[in-house]
Chain A
Amino acid sequence: MRQIKILTAGPHASVQDFGRIGHQALGVPEGGALDPMSMRLANALVGNDPDQSVLEVCLGGLGFTAMADCHIALTGTKKGQLTLLDDTGINLDVPSYRSIAVKKGRSVRLGMLPDSNTAIIAISGGIDVPRLYGSMATSPNAMIGGLEGRLLRDGDILSLGDSHDQSDRGEYQLTPPEDNSDQIRIVYGPQDSRFTDEARTQLISEDYLLTPVLNRMGMRLDGPPLAHTDTADIPSDGIVKGSIQVPGNGIPIILLADHQTTGGYTKIATVISADLPKLARMRPGQRLRFEAVDINTAEKMARKQDHDMMQAIKTMTPAPPLVDQAALYGLGDTT
């Protein structure tokens, strides 16, 4: 059986896919990768289907041993890189957005992410854990999916799905679509009328910082409190990813993939779907600025992003061989 063994799980790593779609009316959270775009790219690099299960690594710090030959790829971080460890102690650094063939028995390590909060590691064949409502995605708060409904731990063994014959698959690289701005686009509503005009203006004119109170359910912001015209409570209703919920204290919380399916707090605005992956990569302490757009723009941006993703995958090219340090520093029999 093809497997990997987790050596160090780091603070927050989990098995993810596109999530459990269509069961929120039973209280079952959708979940799924916080950055589904990076997941698509990583899967493409190793020859997987777009929705095959991957490792989502928040903050970094994941190491594992391949117990079978496989291809792996890291995405969601520009500066982060994988280190391929050799038993001779010679390490090979592998940049993100390229795949690498890993031989059975070799270990791979991802250090702390220098530039992103969330990265994806895809492995050829995908991770194979039991499905619930059609998905393997881990929702730790609901204790479902992944391995026993929890984050990964040191020593966990994960099965990999069957991979088509990978032995002659090459290594690939691609260029992810550029997006460097700290602007997060929102559409006002559903309950923006429950806020003062000042609060509505404040949201787009003031800086809000991401606090360390951040997990797969949501991220608390730090900034000027947003005032309600009346109470913060509404009759409970459904929630979408990216909802900016404001409880009575006026401090906004952006709800993410593992958000509870219904809630009773007013939501002043909603982050457009195209900016959710970028949001997932932003780090505590980072400043974000909201820009208000209309729904037509939001929909256009979603289609543009999808198109850009397809282009990036289409223009994937074979990757040049990585410098073999053993050869370079004369530890082999050359030079």
Chain B
Amino acid sequence: MKITDQNIDNIKIIHAADQGVIVDFSSFDADDAILFSRLLAQRLRDQGITGMVDAIPGMNNLLICYDSIITSHDAITEQALGHAMGLDADDQRASRLWRLPVCYGGEFGPDLDDVAAQKDLQPEDVITRHTANELTVAIMGFLPGLAYMKGVDQSLYLPRRSSPRQHVPALSLGIAMDQTVIYPLASPGGWNLIGRVPFQPFDAHRDDPVLFRAGDRVQFYAVDQTEFQQFEDDLANGSVVLTPQQSNEAG
């Protein structure tokens, strides 16, 4: 899918007072909408738009934050639409693939049994299905380093918990809808917690504090508590370094 003269009018422009111009792609196919938001953000950053202070891709739109002392919603809208022309959802950059461990169930994944029961599965089936699919980071948001990964096996689809937890421990892995998140920090949260990871998606002391980028692909594998501990230790002493594989294959 490409943005052309024929379909550019399907883009809606919405406003958030004098602070944000929202380029809305919701009338496009959901997968294309995510890609368009991400690609437009990249283009605008590369161009260095005067007065633009941030560009935040959402699930089906791009929020462009601007400084209304320097520029205006008219100027930002015009430039955004100008740069949206010609965007091509097939024109993705090389995406990275992460293979990462998760310790499922037990105290690390207090909702695993419940998820299994709700979906009429055994806990082991939930683990098998969750590790089977390659997930794709759709957007980053909510907390520093938190990735919304889409592509969870359809047989595991569940809504968020009806009453969110006040305290979700850091590094918990949760599922809801077609998505998976890892909480980089302790936080309130409503996702179904099925495991925990032995690595930091956000570490202020790392050269690049944020591990994931939108567009990254992620495949999880199951580890037990001993292996979990070992992985944590290896990371701490430097014998294991988190690195993704590069791939040109579109996610």
Which B residues lie within 8 Å of A271 (CB)?
Answer: 17
Chain A binder among B56-64, B97-105, B243-251:
B56-64
Chain A binder among B18-26, B86-94, B107-115, B225-233:
B18-26
- Does A105 interact with chain B (Cβ within 8 Å)? no
Which B residues lie within 8 Å of A142 (CB)?
Answer: 143-144, 185
- Asked, given contacts A25-B214, A27-B142, A28-B210, whether A261 binds B56 with beta carbons under 8 Å apart, the answer is yes
Q: Is the CB of B58 within 8 A of A236?
A: yes
Q: Is the CB of B53 within 8 A of A25?
A: no
Q: Is the CB of A27 within 8 A of B146?
A: yes
Cβ-defined partner of B143 (8 Å) among A27, A272, A295: A27
Which A residues lie within 8 Å of B185 (CB)?
Answer: 142-143
**Chain B, interface residues (CB within 8 Å), range:** 35 or more
Contact mask for chain B residues 40-63; partner A; CB cutoff 8 A; 1 contact, 0 none: 010000000000011111111111
CA distance A216 to B73 in the complex (A): 27
- Asked, given contacts A24-B56, A25-B55, A240-B63, whether A190 binds B209 with beta carbons under 8 Å apart, the answer is no
Q: Is the CB of A238 within 8 A of B20?
A: yes
CA distance A258 to B4 in the complex (A): 38
- Does B198 interact with chain A (Cβ within 8 Å)? no
- Does A242 interact with chain B (Cβ within 8 Å)? yes
Which A residues lie within 8 Å of B65 (CB)?
Answer: 24, 238, 240
Which B residues lie within 8 Å of A274 (CB)?
Answer: 18
A interface majority secondary structure: mixed
Cβ-defined partner of B17 (8 Å) among A21, A28, A29, A273: A273
CA distance A313 to B54 in the complex (A): 28
Q: Is the CB of B146 within 8 A of A190?
A: no
- Does A270 interact with chain B (Cβ within 8 Å)? yes
Which B residues lie within 8 Å of A298 (CB)?
Answer: 17-18, 68
- Does B145 interact with chain A (Cβ within 8 Å)? yes
Q: Is the CB of A302 within 8 A of B143?
A: no
- Does A303 interact with chain B (Cβ within 8 Å)? yes
- Does A1 interact with chain B (Cβ within 8 Å)? no
Cβ-defined partner of A270 (8 Å) among B17, B139, B140, B210: B17
Cβ-defined partner of B210 (8 Å) among A27, A187, A303: A27
CA distance A269 to B143 in the complex (A): 23
Q: Is the CB of B54 within 8 A of A190?
A: no
- Besides A239-B63, A262-B141, 7 new A-B residue pairs in contact (Cβ under 8 A), listed by A number: A22-B53, A24-B141, A26-B210, A236-B141, A263-B142, A270-B17, A299-B68
23 of the cross-chain contacts (CB-CB < 8 Å) are A21-B54, A24-B54, A25-B41, A25-B56, A26-B145, A27-B144, A27-B184, A132-B204, A187-B15, A187-B18, A190-B20, A237-B22, A238-B20, A238-B61, A240-B63, A262-B56, A263-B142, A273-B17, A295-B17, A299-B72, A301-B18, A302-B68, A302-B69
Give the 10 A-B residue pairs with the shortest CB-CB distance, closest first: A237-B58, A262-B141, A238-B63, A238-B56, A235-B59, A298-B18, A270-B17, A187-B17, A240-B19, A302-B68
Identify the B interface with A (CB < 8 A).
Answer: 14-20, 22, 26, 41, 53-63, 65, 68-69, 72-73, 139-146, 148, 184-185, 187, 202, 204, 209-210, 213-214
Identify the A interface with B (CB < 8 A).
Answer: 21-30, 132-133, 141-144, 149, 186-187, 189-190, 235-243, 260-263, 267, 269-274, 295, 298-299, 301-303, 306
